[in-house]
């Protein structure tokens, strides 16, 4: 008979653990899996924090990233910015306390969201080298430097060697040593991450110094700061029953009607009246804390039956159409590009988002392959490059779902084409805490696909024109090959000098060819103008209360 173990024995070892202990044992969840990816993750976390801090302070970012090799699979990383700095009294909470930050509880769009990234780097330095990170910070009022690490068991910061420095220093400088990492010039390495960061942040100056001492300068292509997004409220569309109950039970409103107006965007008193007509069995004067699951279900159903104005674009900060064009031209210099910014939509939870897409063809577009240039999908979330986990990302899924042959691209993997997609939201639904892939929410996939197809229509017109020009050029070259022989034959027949006949023939052919090209260009321009006019007409005819569905 087998030995039976009682419950008291089974649960004798039950213990609580800190969140930092959990992530120490599961560091791959933060992006620290693989030597190249781990180093890129460190640079990503620091650079994203610098961009967020500079933008919130209204400062055009100047960021320096320096990577040095200091041993086998061991590198030091320096990240310096000209931002507002971090006050001395909270430095430990910001960079050495997991899940402590300024972003998670705010319903506003920012690159960082969880309060894990910077502290995760501090922890990764500790567990791979046993060393603290070194901080140098100046706020304009004071400046200091110190060493910082984390007590993993208690999830609390450990600060040492704190000294005041010349207060003229402004910004934040972080230097750390990291083991089990590797610098590599690949599509997933630090250089590519910085290059793509420059693509999506044209207002930033970014300098990278690699382990060999080579310096890369990505100069800002626009001098204006991006418009700061406003704090947002959830949109009624996309809210689930559990979401609604959570909001209601934490509300300070006294009536259900005022709770709806205070909590959600686009809910006016007239909309509340519309909801009352749909859900007559729900008392809108009741205390929202008393809202039941059944009542919440009926309200969520009523939300979907009501026509709503789309989310306010002021709550979202996209790259911008003109800024995207400027940075694509600056970095990729393609022969053709098309950029589209969609209207804001919402996904599950009532969260607003907006999709931007760009297509670049020729020039520096695409990526190097063994047989030449090939197509590449460049993914961004809140202007942050996503280099890993493409196979599970909503962006890659949407782009692969496009029938590229319809748009003149016979083989996407063998054409010099770059497809850029940026998804901006107050809360990007990442598929993991490593923040390298967007979850495959149906609403987001659909919007990405529509944005890419909008861009692809412009590419189709360009490719069609290029094909026609290629055909005409081939005909022109064929005819020109026989001009010499024809001129000689005509000279024998007419007695006119061969050179005179040849010059006349070449002039005639050039004139006809030029007129043909001009006619084709005019027809192409007319077709483009008509297509753009139809798009503008569609926007102008949109109803005042456009459905966000």
**Burial track 524-534 (b if 16+ CB lie within 10 A, e otherwise):** beeeeeeeeee
Rounded alpha-carbon distances, angstroms, from residue 369 to 335, 373, 375, 501: 20, 6, 9, 49
pLDDT at residue 523, rounded to an integer: 60
Q: Is residue 11 predicted with pLDDT exceeding 90? A: no
Rounded alpha-carbon distances, angstroms, from residue 436 to 25, 29, 529, 531: 20, 10, 38, 36
Average pLDDT over residues 532-545: 40
Average pLDDT, the chain: 83
Distance CA 415, CA 105 (A): 44
Distance CA 123, CA 178 (A): 10
Angle between helices 498-540 and 483-494 (to 10 degrees): 140
* Cβ contact 388:485 at 8 Å: no
Q: Which residue has the tokens 């400046």?
A: 143
Q: Is residue 469 predicted with pLDDT exceeding 70? A: no
Per the model's pLDDT, the better-predicted residue between 135 and 475 turns out to be: 135
Ordered structural domains, the chain, with CATH: 19-218 (3.30.565.10), 241-305 (1.10.8), 313-453 (3.30.230.10), 482-540 (no CATH)
User: Tens digits of per-residue pLDDT, 147-186?
Assistant: 999 988 888 899 999 999 998 999 999 999 999 999 998 8
User: Tens digits of per-residue pLDDT, 208-250?
Assistant: 999 999 999 999 988 888 877 777 778 888 788 998 998 899 8
SS (H, E, C) 335-389: CEEEEEECCCEEECCCEEEEEEEEEEECCCCCEEECCEEECEEEEEECCEEECCC
Q: Is residue 346 predicted with pLDDT exceeding 90? A: no
Per the model's pLDDT, the better-predicted residue between 542 and 289 turns out to be: 289
Phi, psi torsion values for 50, nearest 5 degrees:
-65, -45
In which band, very low, low, confident or very high, does the pLDDT at 100 lie, cut at 50, 70 and 90? low
Distance CA 67, CA 78 (A): 7
| Tokens coding 31 | 């992006």
Q: Is residue 375 predicted with pLDDT exceeding 70? A: yes
Q: Indicate the pTM of the whole model.
A: 0.71
- The residues near 179 (Cβ < 8 Å, ≥ 6 apart) are 71, 73, 74, 128, 129
Average pLDDT over residues 519-537: 53
Q: Is residue 524 predicted with pLDDT exceeding 80? A: no
């Amino acid at each position: 008979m087998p030995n039976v173990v009682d419950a008291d024995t089974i649960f004798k070892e039950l213990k609580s653990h800190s969140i930092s202990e959990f992530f120490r044992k599961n560091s791959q969840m933060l992006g620290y899996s693989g030597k190249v990816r781990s180093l890129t993750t460190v640079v990503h976390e620091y650079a994203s924090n610098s961009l967020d801090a500079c933008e919130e302070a209204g400062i055009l970012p100047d960021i320096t990233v320096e990577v040095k090799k200091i041993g086998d699979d061991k590198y030091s990383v320096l990240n310096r910015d000209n931002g507002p700095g971090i006050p001395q009294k909270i430095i430990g909470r910001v960079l050495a306390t997991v899940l402590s930050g300024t972003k998670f509880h705010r319903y506003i769009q920012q690159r960082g969201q969880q309060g894990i990234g910077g502290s995760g780097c501090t922890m990764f330095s500790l567990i791979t080298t046993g060393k603290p990170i070194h901080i140098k910070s100046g706020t304009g009022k004071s400046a200091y430097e110190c060493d910082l690490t984390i007590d993993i068991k208690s999830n609390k910061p450990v600060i040492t060697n704190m000294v005041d420095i010349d207060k003229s220093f402004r910004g934040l400088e972080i230097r750390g040593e990291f083991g089990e990492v590797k610098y590599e010039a690949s599509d997933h390495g630090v250089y590519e991450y910085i290059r793509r960061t420059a693509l999506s942040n044209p207002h930033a100056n970014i300098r990278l110094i690699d382990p060999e001492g080579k310096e890369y300068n990505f100069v800002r292509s626009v001098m204006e700061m991006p418009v700061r997004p406003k704090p947002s409220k959830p949109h009624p569309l996309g809210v689930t029953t559990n979401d609604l109950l959570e909001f209601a039970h934490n509300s300070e409103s006294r009536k259900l009607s005022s709770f709806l107006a205070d909590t959600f965007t686009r809910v006016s008193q007239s909309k509340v009246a519309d909801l009352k007509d749909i859900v007559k069995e729900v008392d809108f004067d009741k205390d929202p804390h008393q809202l039941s699951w059944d009542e919440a279900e009926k309200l969520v159903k009523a939300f979907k039956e009501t026509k709503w104005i789309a989310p306010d674009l002021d709550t979202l900060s996209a790259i911008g159409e003109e800024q995207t064009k400027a940075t694509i031209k600056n970095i990729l210099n393609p022969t053709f590009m098309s950029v589209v910014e969609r209207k804001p939509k919402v996904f599950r939870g009532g969260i607003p988002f907006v999709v931007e897409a760009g297509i670049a063809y020729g020039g520096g577009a695409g990526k190097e392959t063994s047989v030449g240039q090939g197509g590449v999908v460049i993914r961004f979330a809140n202007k942050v490059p996503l280099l890993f986990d493409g196979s599970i990302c909503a962006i890659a899924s949407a782009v692969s779902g496009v029938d590229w042959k319809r748009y003149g691209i016979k083989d996407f993997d063998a054409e010099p084409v770059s497809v850029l997609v940026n998804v901006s939201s107050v809360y990007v639904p990442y598929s993991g805490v490593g923040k390298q892939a967007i979850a495959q929410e149906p609403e987001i996939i659909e919007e990405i696909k529509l944005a890419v197809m909008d861009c692809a229509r412009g590419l189709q017109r360009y490719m069609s024109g290029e094909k026609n020009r290629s055909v005409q050029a081939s005909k022109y070259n064929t005819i020109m090959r026989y001009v010499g022989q024809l001129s000689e034959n005509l000279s024998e027949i007419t007695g006119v000098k061969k050179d005179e006949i040849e010059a006349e023939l070449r002039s005639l052919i050039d004139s006809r060819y030029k007129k043909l090209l001009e006619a084709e260009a005019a027809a192409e321009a007319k077709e483009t103008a008509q297509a753009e006019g139809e798009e503008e007409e569609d926007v102008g005819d949109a109803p005042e209360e456009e459905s966000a569905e």
